[in-house]
Amino acid sequence: MPNRREFLKDVAGAAGIVFVGCGLVDGAQSQGTKKRPVVVKGRRIRTVDVHAHCAVARATELLRRPAANQGADGPLLLEGQSLAQRIAAMDAQGIDVAVLSINPNWYDIDRDLVTQIIRVQNESMAAFCADHPDRFAAFASVALQFPDLAAEQLEQGMKKLGLRGVAIGGSVAGKELADPVFHPFWAKAEALGAVVFIHPQPAATPDLNNRLKGNGLLNNVIGNPLETTIALSHLIFEGTLDRFPGLKICAAHGGGYLPSYMNRSDHGCVTFPAQCQPGVPKEHPTAYVRRMYYDSLVFTPEALRHLVAEVGADHIVMGTDYPYPWVDAPADHVLNTRGLSDAEREAILGGTAIKLLGLPTP
Ligand SMILES: [Zn+2]
């Protein structure tokens, strides 16, 4: 039996995969950029970015549409970027490990083609990460429009390929993640202890998209956090999180609007009980919000302080949204947030992600 690394080399070779996926040129070396260590109380901290986009060129060719993310967070900026540039950018931002994910733009694709696309993506990402285990890890991608297939892909991605969980959209071809059709996927994610990174998809709600047209990128600045808010709220209010209490969900962009306005969710069924199913959800909605995880992409130290106050420092992990230049100093954002203890800063900068994702010690 080949070990995992040999297996990944074999599949990569057999599939003719060239590691330009994720915008990276394999074999390039980091050069010339000084690594900026992140230090808390004199101690070097290992930092992790859980929100880092990429694409696999061969999968994009199979899909015959622009790379994932096109139109979501803007154009994919990684095109042609070398591994040296990528690592230099991580070093400049004080990021030790980037956990790569691909935004799903394949939820409308037929079963045969999407099976190929996901295989190419997951095997490419796994092989790439196996070559650079000290700097990169990756979430699996799955064909969630076929929940049984997605469950298999997740199991294969984690057990055979060593991927660290799964990245999914905030809705799937017009269906909410709380739709019972997805229960087999949630059951598998719970059984595997998989971290499920939920990233919004802007084209998910056509009526809303119409209202978000016009100047100012409203489909992104409002639409993305709103999609996450809706997705998480359905998972709470439809009882999905009661049915699968062990799920480890991590939401992009600080969870959208939900954590900052979650108490309204506790009062809806109290104020209008006739519109709520008795006993669903079992607990106050805010209890579920506090169980999920969120990235730190909330822009100001005050916003991060508030997120910490609502969900706890131990439920926040660092996220940059790379390659989109929303932030340039993600570690300083955490270091400059007032009221955090040193242990809490270390947890947000990397400690919690290392534990959650089971990242190996270098
Ligand atoms: Zn993103």
Q: For a pLDDT cut of 70, what percent of the chain falls above it?
A: 85
CA dist 113 and 187 (Å) reads 25
Please give the pLDDT value at position 278.
Answer: 95
CA dist 88 and 84 (Å) reads 6
pLDDT at 78 over 70: no
241 CA distance to ligand 1 centroid (A)? 24
pLDDT at 362 over 80: no
Please give the pLDDT value at position 83.
Answer: 83
Choose between 26 and 314: higher pLDDT.
314
CA dist 134 and 129 (Å) reads 9
Please give the pLDDT value at position 56.
Answer: 87
167 CA distance to ligand 1 centroid (A)? 11
CA dist 31 and 40 (Å) reads 26
Instruction: Express each pLDDT in 103-118 by its tens digit.
Output: 998 999 999 999 999 9
274 CA distance to ligand 1 centroid (A)? 38
Dihedral of the alpha carbons of 165, 167, 170, 171, in degrees to the nearest 10 = -100
358 CA distance to ligand 1 centroid (A)? 22
Angle between helix axes 263-271 and 223-237 (nearest 10 degrees) is 50
Which helix (DSSP H) or strand (DSSP E) does residue 89 occupy?
A: helix 83-93
199 CA distance to ligand 1 centroid (A)? 6
Tokens representing 259 are: 């954590």
298 CA distance to ligand 1 centroid (A)? 12
Q: Are strands 293-295 and 316-317 parallel, antiparallel or unpaired?
A: parallel
- Residue 80 pLDDT grade (very low, low, confident, very high; cuts 50, 70, 90): low
Instruction: Express each pLDDT in 276-311 by its tens digit.
Output: 999 999 999 999 999 999 999 999 999 999 999 999
279 CA distance to ligand 1 centroid (A)? 35
Over range 339-353, report the average pLDDT: 97
CA dist 343 and 351 (Å) reads 9
Is the pTM higher than 0.85? The answer reads yes
216 CA distance to ligand 1 centroid (A)? 18
pLDDT at 6 over 70: no
3 CA distance to ligand 1 centroid (A)? 33
Over range 41-66, report the average pLDDT: 89
Over range 137-148, report the average pLDDT: 98
Please give the pLDDT value at position 324.
Answer: 83
- Residue 178 pLDDT grade (very low, low, confident, very high; cuts 50, 70, 90): very high
